[in-house]
Chains A and B, each alone.
Chain A
Amino acid sequence: MAEEQKKEERKKRKTATEAASKIGGMVKAAIGGTVRAKEEGKKLAYSFIVCSYDEIIRAMDIVPVWTENYAGICGAKRDAQRFLERAESLGFSRSLCTYALCGLGFDQWREELGEMPPDAPWGGQARPDMMLSSGQILCDPRNKWYQAAQQFMPDVPIYDVGLPWPMYEDDIEVSEIQDYYIAYIVAELRGLVKFLEEQTGRNMDYDRLSDLVDLGEKTWNLIWETYELRRSVPTPMGTGDAMNTMVPMVFMLGTQEGYDFFAELNRELKEKIAKGEGVVPDEKYRLLWGGGLPSWFALTDFNYFNSKGAVFPVETTYRMIEPTYRLNIPDTDDPIERLAWRWLGYWTYWFDKAKKRPGSEPDVERLIQYIEDYQIDGVVMHEAFSCRTWHLGLIWQLNQLKKIYKPIPVLVLGAGDKKSLEHRELPSLILESDIVDISSYSEVDTRARIDAFIETLESTKKSKADQQ
């Protein structure tokens, strides 16, 4: 068994970019860094990604321990089952978020032993000094995970930052509600600062925080510009790589290392575009990863798509940035306010677009924009059984898309009200598995679905060509 596991580890995913191939080492170093930081007496905080307060943690010299990341690593190394099973034996349902289950199984084991569980992936997840929840509307583990973990670590305090994600209503203007939301988010973040000051015994250095927010905003803009380079045909980078490059985006925001990574990726993509180098030599189908977290243990499925000439120039998953000019951030010296505006602007940016299409929703508008901008031929989504947050809306979004991208020629109103007949059919595929729990996955079945989808793409392409 141990021998088989070693073989699995050696089977690495092939990346298209040099930058993405460095991520494994960066994550390993970061996790090793948290363990060392603990030994050096620094303060560690369990944190969730896309929390809005990355720069606050950094400004307070607190070392974040990204618990979702560690569960994903256990999954990617195909070593999550023992932690999932431990959580299950503690009475947690197997239907819960498997990131949370993996983390809870790990934490309970580490606390029971008083040291890392045996052969813990990449040295293990260090014990925190505090846990920072960040509740959102759908993702309940962002509140409940750390509360459950407190059973094993009763001495570790939790601060729960409530982060609103305004529900879309087509008869409500964002400008009418934003002041209320901003005031709320600002209050939550100030509460967090107070908590961190109490925990560390130090006061926040607001000048430093301002500098880090500047760096964070600069990084968002750079990431957006870099990812937009992927519009090129052939695309120089696919979603498989983006599942790696999300690391500096969501785990290193507010650090120079994160910014430098994207500067390097930007340079590499421009070079590839200049040379006409794509993810695959003969790009046949351009696909949108339209939602769902990936199966971390099966990222080689992206290579399988590539082997069929299919590439993913864009994804909604882990594209957690917008250029700051879209976010209506007012001119303010208060970094806390800027963080609040960035958060609200990110979640409401697509609201106005949705209003222009009756019956639409912001998430659907985002998909449509990507389909058009990136010349997309088909959409792939992943229903991870344990992730309710993503799972709930995917089918609805696909059904909305099917109303627009019909398998029949449709009349489209173009510039100057000129009507033209367009063939906009857009095949879609839903993969079913999980983020961490490998027992939900069958490579044979998954690839049979991918094969059938590729055939559907091919027949659609031929049909469109015949109709031209």
Chain B
Amino acid sequence: MPDYLAGIDIGSTMTKVVIMDNGIISSVMGPTGPEQRRLANKVMEEALRRVNLSFKEITYLVATGYGRINVPFADKQITEITCHAKGAAHFFAEARTIIDIGGQDSKAIKIQDGRPIDFVMNDKCAAGTGRYLEVTADALGIPIEKMGPTALGAKNPAQISNICTVFAEQEVVARLAEGVPLDDLVAGILESLASRISRMVNRLKVEKELVITGGGAKNVGLVTALSEKLGCTARVPPEPLLTGAVGAALLGKDMVGKALKQGLPLEKKERSLREISLY
């Protein structure tokens, strides 16, 4: 029987599950939200159902993401930094710098041979995160997934001067009322976000290959703006939201392999596929 390895990445906005054997055999993404975080087990159940596996058949399960603590059905918790490094290196063996743009934070990771050697995080301000996109997309009345393609048509990106998400929302509405074309305005928003992220990333001194992961990587306009600002073309995994979960599953695989090789017992927990307790 093959080993089935699972990774679950409980982010602030989305919960992602990946099940792997020699490659990804199942993946599911579901919203996290304030209430759904409790129900991360449902996302796991769905991933298992799709490949007709029972929970017991999972050899090892690693949880990551901000919600990784207290996951009762994980064998081990590993931070997003290590999991994204592993996941990005899986998709791009030459990856040296990773930018993960999540719903509530963003981070940059410097890696070597697939392991993190340095990192910086922005967890203080929404202005450098996916939340900025959500708020401004809402203010403009366009779906967030349309922002990237819309920005690509811009001729004269607007200047968004406010560094606060709340004030930027007001500014965007005002600029729209002034008659600034939508594509220029969206391009300006993405420029502004890219500028904030690149300031953080530059602390690490970017080296090629640059890989962008997380929800922000699905925005082609943001990826383009970041590539320009950082002076190198960014690579994006096939499903950037899954990078952390893939890394988690692969780290689990490494642990299983190492235990087997060294003849040592595998570090495992008594696990059960039930709701996460928030208390």
Q: Chain A interface (Cβ within 8 Å of chain B)?
A: 395, 407-408, 425, 427-428, 430, 432, 440, 442, 444-445, 448-449, 451-452, 455-456, 459-460, 463
Contacts and interface: CB of A to CB of B under 8 A. Distances in A.
Give the 8 A-B CB pairs with smallest separation, nearest first: A452-B81, A452-B79, A445-B123, A459-B115, A407-B117, A455-B82, A451-B79, A456-B116
Contact-residue size bin, chain B (C-beta under 8 Å from the other chain)? 10 to 19
A463 to B, nearest CB: 7
- Max chain A CB contacts within 10 Å: which of B66, B117, B118? B117
A463 B113 contact: yes
Given A407-B112, A407-B117, A456-B81, 17 more contacts: A408-B112, A428-B118, A430-B120, A442-B124, A445-B123, A448-B66, A448-B121, A452-B116, A452-B121, A455-B78, A455-B81, A455-B116, A456-B115, A456-B119, A459-B115, A460-B115, A460-B117
A8 B152 CA distance: 52
B80 interface: yes
A98 to B, nearest CB: 16
A459 B116 contact: yes
A408 B110 CA distance: 13
Contacts of A408: 112
A440 B125 CA distance: 11
Interface of B: 66, 78-82, 105, 112-113, 115-121, 123-124, 203
Contact of B66 (A430, A444, A463): A444
A419 B136 CA distance: 58
A257 B82 CA distance: 48
B105 to A, nearest CB: 8
18 contacts: A407-B112, A407-B117, A427-B117, A428-B118, A442-B124, A445-B124, A448-B79, A448-B121, A452-B79, A452-B80, A452-B82, A455-B82, A455-B116, A456-B82, A456-B116, A456-B117, A456-B118, A463-B115
Contact of B118 (A427, A432, A442, A451): A427
Nearest to A466: B113
A408 B117 CA distance: 11
A455 B118 contact: no
Nearest to B109: A452
Nearest to A408: B112
Contacts of B79: 448, 451-452, 455
Contacts of A459: 82, 115-116
A449 B82 CA distance: 11
A260 B80 CA distance: 48
A408 B207 CA distance: 15
A458 B112 CA distance: 14
